[in-house]
Chain A
Amino acid sequence: MTTNGLSGNRARRRRAFNRLINVLIYAALVAAIVPLVAIVGEVVIQGLPQISLGFLTGLPKPPTIPGGGIFNAIEGSAVMVGLAALIAVPLGVGAGIYFSEWPESRLSFISSFTNDVLAEFPTITLGIFVYLLVVLTTHTFSAIAGAIALSFVMIPIVARTTEESLKLVPHTLREASMALGIPRWKTVIRIVIGTGKSGLATGILLSIARAAGETAPLVVTALWSVYPVTNLWGPTGSLPYLIFYYGLSPYQDWHAYAWGGAFLLVVFMLGLNLSVKFLIGRKFAGVRAEI
């Protein structure tokens, strides 16, 4: 008699279907997590044995000569990312402040939209842009060109996280401050940024992590060097390029360099992302820091 779906065969079918979907969802979860475990596992297995003091402080040797290290790549990456941050942080934070404090202006809308578009952009086009603009005119591949290219990758991230974290500062604070007669600019700098400080720091750290892993822009701007950085206007090594170049080589000892470099890079990026997430993520309910 009962043909409603709450009992009988129909109900059983519906419940079975529900169980099937459950299985599929768990399968999807597994499919998403297994690659992460596999990749990180492989990097650790292949890369961790390479790490030693000599590896971190030495310079690469030609193929078949044992020993050597990747100090040039580590230093090059640090220098270029540092320089990129010097460019990207002021511009990104500035733009973020503008988006958050003057959201009604047309410039804010256009720029914010442009910012979002740039955030997911193919970084190779940014690299080509810097190649055409900087490398060809200065007649050299350089750390400066590399840093400029990386800064273009970082600016959208910094701007967006700055905007988001400043928007979270309650308006009551701003109003109270203004009511006390504090000029707007001081309000913004001292109160608003002061309150949103950790969000800003998060954004900067996340952008650094992202820039440290970028390879395509560096291939066409900074190229490669096997020496420590002595000249910012000369080709400079970097961890991602090391992994790319030495990983594709046919030499076993160079593969070892690549895996060791990959290990360092993965540790750095995962570590930074995790620590940011653990330390900051809790404070903003309903907000997640994500890349």
Chain B
Amino acid sequence: MNPNKRIRKRGIGGDQILKGMVAAAAISIVALLIALAIELTNGASLSLTTYGLPFLFSTTWDPNHNIYGALPFIYGTLVTSAIALLIGLPVSLGVAIFLSEKAKGHRLAAYVLGTLVELLAAVPSVIFGLWGLFVLSPNLRTYVEAPLHKYLGFLPIFSTTPIGLDYFIAGIILAIMIIPTVSAVSRDVLNAVPNSQREAMYSLGATQWEVIRKSVLPYARSGIFGATILGLGRAVGETMAVTFIIGNSPAISASLFAQGYTLSALIVNQVGESTSPLNASAIVEIALILFGLAFVINVFARLFVVRLTRGARFRA
């Protein structure tokens, strides 16, 4: 066949069609985020115009008297996330260091242990909530919270009587839930540190930990920071596990053993009901605040993480 004819016939429609279709799919993702922002802002508009910025700092949530404020929920979200990071970050780092540094010689052990940690992420959060309510909460209350309250109850953070539903246990459940994410990303980051760094320090006679502390971790610092932010994003958005455990009380308390509320728990508890249009709008505004918080955190995290790690990476 005449090659010129063949070239003329090929691909004019097909290429354009494919590119168009997949580009449309790509656009739809951006459109989804934009639509989400618009719809939430729209639903929250009444509350936004009624309260403005002070909504973020107001502490009363009283549907009966039609007064709303977001501070108790922001506080609860931040406190539980802080506990989650405080406990989850060291554990995740430990796991990541183990899997990337110490288990280098034992591929099978690393593989099995690494898989087990990743499987934590495969457990649905509602099951975390169920387990937290029926197993973790009673045990922690009796063996950890009660003694802490008894002996250290003069400290503000242990000052209320523990009943097993509070910031503390919610924070611990969140810590467990963010371990897979933070440790996986940290592990990638640590693996990406060039071996020359380590070899140089070993040749100087450093112990393993000194190698890690002085040459590997500083190199990986921003990546681990990114991993932490990712974990924070996960903790902030977690709904079901927290709802079971937090105590659902829109109050602010310095005590870790007090009942509290988070942005996401409030939404799932009250979204179907509203005593007035302002109530409904306030709930959507809480969702908008959560959206904003999660958006900022996730963007921040990607900026840090994407920069450092190399190589192909499957990540969800």
Contact = CB atoms under 8 A, between A and B. Distances in A.
Q: CB atoms of A and B under 8 A apart anywhere in the complex?
A: yes
Given A6-B205, A28-B90, A184-B15, 5 more contacts: A18-B208, A36-B117, A117-B298, A274-B119, A291-B118
B209 to A, nearest CB: 4
B122 A269 contact: yes
B299 A215 contact: no
Nearest to A21: B209
B113 A18 contact: no
Interface string A40-67: 1011000000000000000000000000
B278 interface: no
A94 B22 contact: yes
A40 B15 contact: no
Interface stretch (A78-86, A153-161, A229-237): A153-161
A36 B119 contact: yes
Contacts of A33: 113, 116-117
A191 interface: no
20 contacts: A21-B209, A22-B102, A28-B95, A28-B98, A32-B91, A32-B117, A32-B179, A42-B135, A110-B30, A113-B299, A117-B299, A126-B36, A128-B40, A160-B314, A213-B124, A214-B124, A215-B126, A244-B129, A286-B311, A290-B184
Interface in A157-207: 157, 159-161, 164-165, 167-168, 181, 183-186, 188-189, 199, 202-203, 206-207
Contact of B312 (A129, A164, A186): A164
B284 A116 contact: no
Interface residues of A, number: 114
Contacts of A212: 124
Contacts of A168: 312
Contact of A266 (B93, B114, B123, B239): B123
User: Does more than half of chain B's interface fall in helix, strand or loop, or is it mixed?
Assistant: helix
Contact of A273 (B122, B134, B135, B264): B122
Contact of A108 (B26, B42, B129, B134): B26
Nearest to A288: B314
Interface stretch (B53-61, B161-169, B289-297): B289-297
Contacts of A25: 94, 97-98, 102
B313 interface: yes
A270 B123 CA distance: 7
Interface in B87-126: 90-95, 97-98, 102, 113-126
B116 to A, nearest CB: 5
B271 interface: yes
B93 A28 contact: yes
Contact of B131 (A42, A189, A288): A42
Contact of A98 (B26, B39, B119): B26
B133 to A, nearest CB: 8
Contact of B125 (A102, A181, A213, A287): A213
A198 to B, nearest CB: 12
A202 B26 contact: no
B10 A183 contact: yes
A123 interface: yes
Nearest to B13: A185
Interface string B220-239: 00000000001001101111
Interface of B: 6-7, 10-11, 14-15, 17-19, 21-30, 32-33, 35-36, 39-40, 42-43, 90-95, 97-98, 102, 113-131, 133-135, 176, 179-180, 183-184, 205, 207-210, 230, 233-234, 236-240, 244, 264, 267-268, 271-272, 284, 287, 290-291, 294-295, 298-299, 301-302, 306, 311-316
Contact of A32 (B92, B125, B230, B244): B92
Contacts of A120: 230, 233-234, 237, 294, 298, 301
Interface in A257-291: 258-259, 262, 265-266, 269-270, 272-274, 277, 284, 286-291
Contact of A118 (B32, B43, B284, B306): B32
B11 A184 contact: yes
Interface string A114-155: 111111111111101101110000000000000000001001
A247 B130 contact: yes
